[in-house]
Amino acid sequence: MNLRPLLPVFLIATALALHAGTTLESKITAVTIYPDRAIVTRSAEIELAVGEQELVFENLPLEVADDSLQVSGVGTAKATILEVTPRAKQLEVAPNPRIGTIEAAIKSLSQRRRVITDRTATLDREMALLGQIANSATTPPQGGKDGIAARQNPADWQQVVDFYDSGLEKLAAERRSLDREVDDLDAKIAALGADLTGARGGPDKKVKNVTVRVSIEKEGHLSLTLSYAVPDARWWPSYDARLSTAEQRLTLGYFGMVSQRTGEDWENVSMNLSTSRPSQGGAAPELHPWVVQEKQYLQPERPAPDGAPASGGEGVTVLSPFEVETTGAQGYLESNSISGTRVGAPPPPSYHLQPSKAAVAVRATSAEFHIPVSTSVPCDGAPHRVGIATLPFATSVCYLSTPKLNTAAFLGATVTNDTTYPLLGGGWVASYLDGMFVSRGFLKTAMPGEKFDLPFGADEGIHIERKLINRFAKDVGFVTGQVRVTYEVLTTVTNNKTIPVTVKVTDQVPLSRNENVKVSQVTPDSDEMKPDANGLLVWILDLKPGEKRDISLKFTVTFPRDFAIDGLE
């Protein structure tokens, strides 16, 4: 038998098989989320024979940043990375196991909506019939002998009215309830429809495959990981503040709100939340010379030097995937592990877990929280809350009031962040006072060691009244032609609670921006209480139960008689 004609076919098949590579059964095992992106880590296990092989991570999001690709591995196989290559691929059908679940949910909601529609039509007919009955009862027949209109007994009239009102109200109440349920169902169906469109992807959906070409010197097992950056992922802080007035203790629930539309579901992954912002770059921007000259002598904008980015760019040159040289290609690592990285990819962090709350790693320019339990976040764009820590604090409470603007007294807690956790600003704080929800606001950033304030709503037990007792103007100089306006304000604070309280009251005197306008504080004496740079005066009152305290504020504003002044009340 002549085997020579079969040899070229065998060689071609072998070459094609090598080019196609071995598809890895990988899964997402870890995610590090930044405020504007995420680093996803996939893991795979494989047995390798001696020789050169191509290992393929398939169906990754098309938006994977090529310069963030990072490959590492460890095992009994002795291997060297030769090349890491990303390639876009078009899918005819984008498989997603969530499609069936979403379709079933839409079907169930649609069936419920049809039931409501049928019931609504029945209610409309019953309401119309009720109207016909009432009309028949109040309209006499042609003979005029029957019907309530032919009778003059008021009790009969009232009986018809009561029957009509009670029946109509019952039907209308059910109708309104069904209308609200229909609106809620329509919103849920619309949201699921949008989610289904994203899950299906369409026939033109593209994905990215990453091929890792390795040289195996010694056969064995290899645990391979691939990390890559993807956009459309973010996180932001959220808090629950619970204050116990009896114990003067504050418990702060610290959460991360995670949202992502990366194209992949994150199921039972190890999650890290980082405060670093890669989009801001690594260096501060530079100021250029600020030139001021006559308009006609302005020079045209100087063009950028050859090779420099255009004006307004970020000043970063991005290499194509084929211009970035992988590391580890010069030889295998003696520890039987392999490593290859793209330019710009951060090294994988290490963490020491603590029970019941996230471990925090504070770095020179950022902090990172490692969530101690496996976490799942679907690719739906909705916010999902992830617990970071529950932090107890000792606190001092005080009532704050600005009666010129609002005479209410607002309870506030002053806390020192004596933990190792940086409390990030910009997140919502839901405040609970003795177990009752009282307010919602924002928290300012508080680093370890810093103080911060939390509001807990107005308290009706503190009564504050502010009155303008006197305002008058008079001439104070015949020669100078000066006018002096005097203001006198009285603020009364009453503690109607059964416990002693501390109330901080803030008021103000006007500020002069003109040397011809003089502001003088009369009461309180300026030596005893001096306004700050913004003209604010602060009284701190320690009030016993039932105690009332008066605060007097008096000041004058003097200015020339013919001076046009603005800002006086």
Q: Who has greater pLDDT, 120 or 342?
A: 120
196: pLDDT strictly greater than 50? yes
490: pLDDT strictly greater than 80? yes
406-416 and 266-274 beta bridge pairing: unpaired
Q: What gap in Å lies between CA 325 and CA 314, rounded to an integer?
A: 23
Q: What gap in Å lies between CA 229 and CA 93, rounded to an integer?
A: 24
Residue 507, SS3 per DSSP: strand
Lowest mean pLDDT of 27-36, 71-80, 166-175, name the range: 166-175
Q: Who has greater pLDDT, 172 or 148?
A: 172
Q: What confidence score (pLDDT) does residue 236 get?
A: 93
pLDDT mean over 21-28: 91
Percent helix, strand and coil across the chain, each rounded to 5? Answer: 20, 45, 35
Q: What gap in Å lies between CA 42 and CA 21, rounded to an integer?
A: 18
Q: What gap in Å lies between CA 512 and CA 534, rounded to an integer?
A: 10
Q: Cis (ω within 30 of 0) for the bond into 524?
A: yes
Q: What CATH number does the domain located at 98-200 have?
A: 1.10.287
Domain ranges of the chain: 98-200, 462-560
Angle of CA points 54, 230, 363, to nearest 5° = 105
Q: What confidence score (pLDDT) does residue 363 get?
A: 61
- Per-residue pLDDT of 525-552, as tens digits, reads 888 899 999 999 999 999 999 999 999 9
Average confidence score pLDDT of the chain = 80
Lowest mean pLDDT of 77-86, 112-121, 288-297, 364-373, name the range: 288-297
Q: Which of 540, 556, 462 is nearest to 505 (CA)?
A: 540
CA 418 to chain CA mean position, Å: 25
Q: What gap in Å lies between CA 462 and CA 502, rounded to an integer?
A: 10
Lowest mean pLDDT of 200-209, 347-356, 461-470, 485-494, name the range: 347-356
- Per-residue pLDDT of 388-431, as tens digits, reads 999 999 998 999 999 999 999 999 999 999 999 999 988 899 99
- Per-residue pLDDT of 257-280, as tens digits, reads 999 999 999 999 999 999 887 766
